[in-house]
Structure 1
Amino acid sequence: MELGVAWLHSLDPLTAVLVAIAAIFLSIGLIIFRVVRGLPKLTKGTVAFFHPHADGGGGGERVLWCAVDALQHAAPHVRILIYARQGVTAEQLVQEASSRFNVKLRRPIEVLGLQHVDLIAPEAYPRFTLIRQAWGSLLLGLEALRLMVPEVYIDTTGWAFPYPIAKLAGSRVACYVHYPTVSTNMLGRVWSRQPMYNNDEAVSGSSLRSLLKVLYYQAFAVVYGMAGACADAVMVNSSWTAGHVRQLWWSWEEPQLVYPPCDTSDLQSLPLDRRLKHLFLVSVAQFRPEKNHRLQLEAYAMAREQAAAKDANWRNSPVLVSSLKMVGSCRGPDDEARLAQLQQYAQQLGIGDAVEWHVNVPYAELKQLLGGAVGGLHTMLDEHFGISVVEYMAAGVIPIAHNSGGPRADIVVDTETDGAPQRTGYLAETKEEYCAAIKAVLEMDQRDRLRIAAAAQRRAATMFSTERFHQAFMQAVSPVLPKQS
């Protein structure tokens, strides 16, 4: 031992560092090799989806169930399993897929219960959240593979760190990336010392801490890129996500753009001509901090204040007779507490009587709400895609979306009508811009509203249908699927 240390000290500093790094990677490799040797043998003919919160009510879960439906239709010989949190049953998931997303699965599925889903909960890690969540996802992925090693491991959550273990265990790995775990946008905001929900003021207020966090993110991005390189088939949900995956992942394969499935065919049955005596806006989003519901409330309150100042007779103002219906799901106590805070904030802004709250509603109620709304709010910065925005458009609801990410790159894009540009919605960033867009939609002439709504609906039907998702998803995963015996 002493001889080995003496030999290391005899090397020049650069060589010593390289030897030390090589030793670390060798040690990690040996640990992973021993872990993989302890896993069960590969089960042929199986496809397992890694989606711990499969019972969630968000857009990611809609992607999961439409992917399962596509596989059941195109590859009936495949046995499909879901790695989901313990306590969730297959019957419950099938029922929720139908009631929440109008996805009726053709055959039963199987569920493999995960005990330690809390390992990926961000609230469990107040400091060094990224790396600790990444390590937690690796351990959770290992727990999943100890239950069964499938022939094809499909990740629909974005946790890339279990990919190397699944690959070494013999699985072919496919993934659907909703949002890169780290992105150049995140690095830029930390470097510019911009405070946000994932960059607190203690860091943004210090140049040294900001520098250290940038270095931390850069190191994390390297490991993330190495893990992503283990995927055999990579699907991304938007042009924005594709750009970040190209930058970060060490892969020669071009990520395949597979737009998320939106229930455009069913929502298109809703009439475009809305009852203007009952004007209302709708907001569809889980009650999570990044969705930024506070900005929606502030912009709507500002619009009402401006309308009241302009029109003394409130009965003649479309803005003042309107209402805002907040529709969303709660994943647990933290979301429920956040919802209560938002309700209190609406009261403080003086719009408590004009805002309605619809929590964990079934699909039928969501459809009814979309069928009556004239405008839909979306305020998440760098939303990877924005299924709710597409649902607005498909239902004939004019979107007012954040001017970033997927909504800007792929969704709220002008089209052409008779050779002239045609608006399909509004993009905004600041409270003032959202306020102006809200007033424009609520005060708009009915003919102008129908023209925009019709153009938005055509774009949604053309680009983001469930049928288009099925085709693109199967084209991407077919090369790695089990062969029919």
Structure 2
Amino acid sequence: MGNGFVIWALVTALLPLSLRFALQLLNCRRSRKRAVGFFHPYTNDGGGGERVLWCAIKAIQEESPDLECVVYTGDHDASPQSLMGRAVDRFGVELLHPPKVVHLYKRKWIEETTYPRFTMMGQSLGSVYLSWEALCKLNPLYYVDTSGYAFTYPLARIFGCKVICYTHYPTISLDMLSRVRDQSSMYNNDALIAKSIWLSRIKIIYYTFFSWMYGFVGSCAHLAMVNSSWTRTHIEKLWKIPHRTMRVYPPCDTSGLQVLPLERPTETLKIISVAQFRPEKAHTLQLEAFSVAIGKLDADLPRPKLQFVGSCRNKSDEERLQNLKIKAVELKVDADVEFHKNIIYRDLVKLLGAAIVGIHSMIDEHFGISVVEYMAAGAIPVAHNSAGPMMDIVLEEDGQQTGFLACSVDEYADAILKVIKMPEAERLTMAKAARRRASKFSEQRFYEDFKAAIRPILTHTSK
């Protein structure tokens, strides 16, 4: 009697909510717009993911001019004109016309600060709530996720959308599971957990369960585009939809950078690092390697200058940037280090055109657009020996070395010194080979491959 009463009470309480949900969903499905909705809550992150967003919108505008492009964003100051201007100013991408903007007001549910523990799960479930807000405001024919929120795909399918995604980096990877098993401390594995066998086992269970859920929701995509060989390997193992998974290299501004002269000023040697001020970008390692290189530098060689260029998404990134400045003072290299925050595209090109070395240090960087930009601009890349840079980018071109791969502080320092000490003719030979290699990842190549990937879905749906 007691159990029956409890069940009756739950059904009575949940029935109105279920009916409300069903009616709202029915209304949304009936009012579906002939549009392409881009789920990209942060349209001011300034990274390679944002470049993909603008290039993807431009590709849709060129491929299907009759489809309206809509951007779901949590940036409340965003407008069609401001986003169109941002695409040009920050990335040099000229859209055919401004995209429609749908503002989201529940973005706090996907912010990492909202979930001190079980962050991945919290953000993933929070993204479902945010996408519910988005789809209720405008239900498009095609739902395109360019930010990696795979948990929103089942909901988009329930709303009747064709789901297309461009995945830069799997939310969870088999490498992450391996590091927890090995009790390795990293930015995504707290040292306290890494030191504890029991906490590590609990996290393995959590990661295993999460990877199963991630595999299920990811398999709901009608088309999954991935940005590198490394990402494709992991996504195919997790989502198990290889016939719907295509590798489309991200758009890199190789054409605009390739016109820069390969000769560089010799009075001050410039070393550049282009990356958002996020923990996984490992800026501290770069700073320490630079300090070691300075310490080993011959007295007769000019003292180089390290330039950090990146954007800050939030307060945590701002604090990270400030800590990096403090670290430079501690290492006594602050006079040789510059910080350029949230600069416009034109200024970035100018800095790239003066650098002889470009540093990248993220472990398992899914692709590495900044590495390609270094190569296109004529700067010799020193990238992390893993994932995208190792598998796709810093490879020989016509038998000629195109850059260096490193892991430790000493390896980075040695590679930096090799470029600094390199005879000009040898540096130019390597820079030319690197530039030829970079042309394989051009913006035009992205447009061609992206359109080829989405064309079957657009053609099938229009019939």
Shorter-chain TM range is over 0.9
Could you report, residue by residue, the CA deviation over 1:20-45 in whole angstroms, capped at 9, with x for unpaired residues? xxxxxxxxx99986774464534242
Q: Which among 440, 447, 451 is matched to residue 474 of structure 1? A: 451
Secondary structure of the 1:277 match is coil
Q: Residues 144-190 of structure 1: CA distance to partner in whole angstroms, max 9, x if unpaired?
A: 11111100000000101111111111110000000001100100111
Aligned to 1:173: 163
Letter of the 2:455 counterpart = S
Matches within 5 A, 1:129-168: 129-168=119-158
* Corresponding position of 1:447: 425
Listed one character per residue, the Cα deviations across residues 75-124 of structure 1 (whole Å, up to 9, x for unaligned) are 11111100011332121111110000000111121000000112111122
Asked if 1:395 is matched to 2:373, the reply is no
- SS at 1:188 equivalent: helix
Aligned-residue offset at 1:278: 2.2
The residue aligned with 1:317 is 301
Of 240, 245, 252 in structure 1, the residue corresponding to residue 230 of structure 2 is 240
In structure 2, C-alpha distance between the alignment counterparts of 1:404 and 1:30, rounded to whole Å: 50
Tell me the residue number matched to 2:434.
Answer: 456
Which segment is superposed worse, 430-439 or 88-97? 88-97
**Structure 2: distance between partners of 1:36 and 1:194:** 45
The answer as to 2:402 corresponding to 1:424 is: yes
Supply the RMSD in Å over aligned alpha carbons: 2.0
In the other structure, the counterpart of 1:48 is 37
AA aligned opposite 1:442 = I
The separation in 2 between residues aligned to 1:45 and 1:139, in whole angstroms, is: 23
Which moved further from structure 2: 126-135 or 40-49? Answer: 40-49
* 1:88 is the counterpart of 2:65: no
Runs of 5+ consecutive residues of structure 1 not aligned to the other structure: 6-28
5+ residue gaps, structure 2, are 6-17
Partner of 2:8: none
Change (3 A) 1:252 1:453: closer
Q: Contact 2:271 / 2:356 at 8 angstroms: preserved in 1?
A: yes
For residue 74 of structure 1, what is the aligned residue in structure 2?
63
How far residue 480 of structure 1 moved from its aligned partner, in angstroms, is 2.1
**Could you tell me how far apart the structure 2 residues matched to 1:35 and 1:230 are?**
22
* 2: CA distance, partners of 1:37 / 1:380: 45
Aligned-partner residue type, residue 60 of structure 2? L
From 105, 108, 111, the equivalent of 2:95 is: 105
- 2 CA distance for matches of 1:118 and 1:3? 38
Partner of 1:280: 270
User: Partner letter of residue 76 of structure 1?
Assistant: P
What's the TM-score, normalizing by structure 2? 0.93
* Structure 1 residue 332: Cα displacement: 2.1
Q: Deviations over 1:338-364 (max 9, x none)?
A: 111100100100100000111111111
Deviations 1:203-250 (A, max 9, x none): 111111101101111111111111111111110000000000011004
TM-score (normalizing by structure 1): 0.89
CA contact (8 A) 2:223 2:244 kept: no
- Whole-angstrom CA distance in 2 between matches of 1:296 and 1:477: 39
Contact map agreement 2:135 2:156 (CA 8 A) in 1: yes
Quote the residue 1:368 is aligned against: 350
* Percent identical: 46
Tell me which moved more, 368-377 or 31-40: 31-40
Please tell me whether the aligned partners of residues 377 and 399 of structure 1 are also in contact (alpha carbons under 8 angstroms): yes
2:268 is matched by which residue type in structure 1?
H
8 Å contact kept, 2:43–2:50: yes
Provide the secondary structure at the position in 1 that maps to 2:150: coil
**Structure 2 CA distance, aligned partners of 1:173 and 1:144?**
14
Task: Give the Cα–Cα distance (whole angstroms) in 2 for the partners of residues 484 and 252 of structure 1.
Answer: 25
Q: What SS does the aligned partner of 1:162 have? A: helix
The Cα offsets for residues 421-480 of structure 1, whole Å up to 9 and x where unpaired, read as 21111000000100100100111111110111000100111x100110001111111122
CA contact (8 A) 1:441 1:449 kept: yes
Q: Encode CA deviations 1:275-321: one digit per residue, 9 max, x unaligned.
A: 222211000001111111000000000011122xxx4xx3x124xx2
Q: Secondary structure at the residue paired with 1:298?
A: helix
- The residue type paired with residue 225 of structure 1 is G
Q: Which of the numbers 300, 316, 319 marks the counterpart of 1:337?
A: 319
- The one-letter code sitting in structure 2 at the alignment partner of 1:65 is W
Name the count of aligned residue pairs. Answer: 450
